[in-house]
Structure 1
Amino acid sequence: MGRRNRAGAASREDRQQGRRFPMGETSPRAEREFDIVLWGATGATGRRAAHHLARRGAENGVSLAIGGRNRAKLETVRDGLAGGDTIAILVGDSLDAAFMHDMTARTRVVVSTVGPFALYGSELVAACAANGTHYCDLTGEPQWMRAMIDAHQDTARRTGARIVHACGHDSIPSDLGVQFLQEAAVARHGKPCRRIANRITRMKGGFSGGTAASFVNAMKVRETDPDFDRLSQDPYALCPEGERDGPDGPDRMMPLEVSWDADLQAWTKPFFMGPMNSKVVRRTNAIMDYPYGRDFTYQETALTRGGIGGWWAAMSYTLFGRALLIAMAIPATRRLLQRRVLPKSGEGPSKEVRETGSYEMVMVGEMPDGTILKARITAQGDPGVRSTTLMLTEAALCLAEDADRIAVGGGFWTPAAAMGPLLRDRITEHAGLSFEMMDDEPG
Structure 2
Amino acid sequence: MRSYTRQYDVALLGATGFTATLVAQVFAATLTSEIRWLIAGRNYDKLRGLLEKLRKLNPEGPVPDIQSIDVVNDNLTELARSTKVIVNAIGPYTRYGRPVVEACAANGTSYVDFSTETPWIEEMILIYHDLARENHATIIPAIGNSSSPSALIALLLADQYRILHGNDVREIVSCYGMKINGMSGGSLSSVVDVVDTYGIRHLLSPNPYRLCPSKETKLSQTPTSIPFLGHIKDPILGHLATSFTAPGNEAIVNRSQHPQQSIAQHPSFIYKEYMPATSTLQAIAIHMLTKLGILMLALRPFRTLLNRLKPASGSGPSAEITRTEKLAITAVARGEDGKELVAEYIYNGPMYYHTAILGTAAVAVLLELWRGTDRDDSGGDAGQRRDPDMSGILTPSCLGMPFVERLRAAGVKFDVLV
> Residue 203 of structure 2 contacts residue 247 of structure 2 at CA under 8 Å; is this kept in 1?
no
Distance 2:205 2:17 in 1: 27
Q: 2:355 aligns with which of 388, 391, 396?
A: 388
Per-residue deviation at 1:118?
Answer: 1.1
* 1:201 to 1:169, Cα distance in 2 relative to 1, 3 A: closer
Do structure 1's residue 285 and structure 2's residue 257 form an aligned pair? yes
Do structure 1's residue 115 and structure 2's residue 91 form an aligned pair? yes
2:109 aligned partner? 133
- What TM-score does the superposition give when structure 2 sets the normalisation length? 0.89
Within-5 A mapping of 1:425-440: 425-430=405-410, 432-439=411-418
* 1:231 to 1:127, Cα distance in 2 relative to 1, 3 A: farther
% same residue: 28
> Residue 38 of structure 2 contacts residue 64 of structure 2 at CA under 8 Å; is this kept in 1?
yes
1:62 aligned partner? 35
> Residue 251 of structure 1 contacts residue 275 of structure 1 at CA under 8 Å; is this kept in 2?
no
1:48-93 Cα distance to aligned partner (Å, 9 max, x none): 1111112211x25211100010001111111111358831111111
Per-residue deviation at 1:156?
Answer: 1.2
1:36 aligned partner? 10
1:278-301 Cα distance to aligned partner (Å, 9 max, x none): 000000000134743110011000
Provide the secondary structure at the position in 1 that maps to 2:302: helix
Q: 2:63 aligns with which of 73, 81, 86?
A: 86
2:286 aligned partner? 317
RMSD, aligned α-carbons: 2.4
2:378 aligned partner? none
Distance 1:47 1:238 in 2: 30
Per-residue deviation at 1:370?
Answer: 1.0
Per-residue deviation at 1:318?
Answer: 2.2
Do structure 1's residue 154 and structure 2's residue 130 form an aligned pair? yes
> Residue 8 of structure 2 contacts residue 82 of structure 2 at CA under 8 Å; is this kept in 1?
yes
Do structure 1's residue 273 and structure 2's residue 273 form an aligned pair? no
1:335-371 Cα distance to aligned partner (Å, 9 max, x none): 223323x333212121023333111111111121111
Per-residue deviation at 1:202?
Answer: 5.1
> Residue 118 of structure 2 contacts residue 248 of structure 2 at CA under 8 Å; is this kept in 1?
yes
Q: Which amino acid aligns with 2:394?
A: W
1:303 aligned partner? 276
2:339 aligned partner? 371
Comparing 201-210 with 164-173, greater Cα deviation is found at 201-210
1:411 aligned partner? 392
1:424 aligned partner? 404
Do structure 1's residue 338 and structure 2's residue 311 form an aligned pair? no
Distance 1:169 1:275 in 2: 14
> Residue 171 of structure 2 contacts residue 269 of structure 2 at CA under 8 Å; is this kept in 1?
yes
> Residue 205 of structure 1 contacts residue 358 of structure 1 at CA under 8 Å; is this kept in 2?
no
Provide the secondary structure at the position in 2 that maps to 1:86: coil
Distance 1:209 1:255 in 2: 34
* 1:381 to 1:230, Cα distance in 2 relative to 1, 3 A: closer
* 1:314 to 1:123, Cα distance in 2 relative to 1, 3 A: same
* 1:255 to 1:211, Cα distance in 2 relative to 1, 3 A: farther
1:413-440 Cα distance to aligned partner (Å, 9 max, x none): 11112x111111111112x21221222x
Q: 1:358 aligns with which of 316, 326, 340?
A: 326
Per-residue deviation at 1:319?
Answer: 2.3
Distance 2:43 2:229 in 1: 44
Q: 1:234 aligns with which of 207, 212, 216?
A: 207
* 1:31 to 1:55, Cα distance in 2 relative to 1, 3 A: farther
Q: How many pairs does the alignment contain?
A: 398
Do structure 1's residue 171 and structure 2's residue 138 form an aligned pair? no
Q: Which amino acid aligns with 1:271?
A: S
2:187 aligned partner? 211
Per-residue deviation at 1:32?
Answer: 0.9
> Residue 4 of structure 2 contacts residue 82 of structure 2 at CA under 8 Å; is this kept in 1?
no
Distance 1:39 1:255 in 2: 43
- What TM-score does the superposition give when structure 1 sets the normalisation length? 0.84
Distance 2:135 2:91 in 1: 25
Q: Which amino acid aligns with 2:408?
A: T
* 1:60 to 1:314, Cα distance in 2 relative to 1, 3 A: farther
1:75 aligned partner? 48
Per-residue deviation at 1:410?
Answer: 2.3
Per-residue deviation at 1:150?
Answer: 1.5
Distance 1:85 1:68 in 2: 19
Distance 1:40 1:325 in 2: 29
* 1:174 to 1:263, Cα distance in 2 relative to 1, 3 A: same
Per-residue deviation at 1:215?
Answer: 0.2
Runs of 4+ in 1 over 6 A off after TM superposition: none
Do structure 1's residue 184 and structure 2's residue 163 form an aligned pair? no
Provide the secondary structure at the position in 1 that maps to 2:230: coil
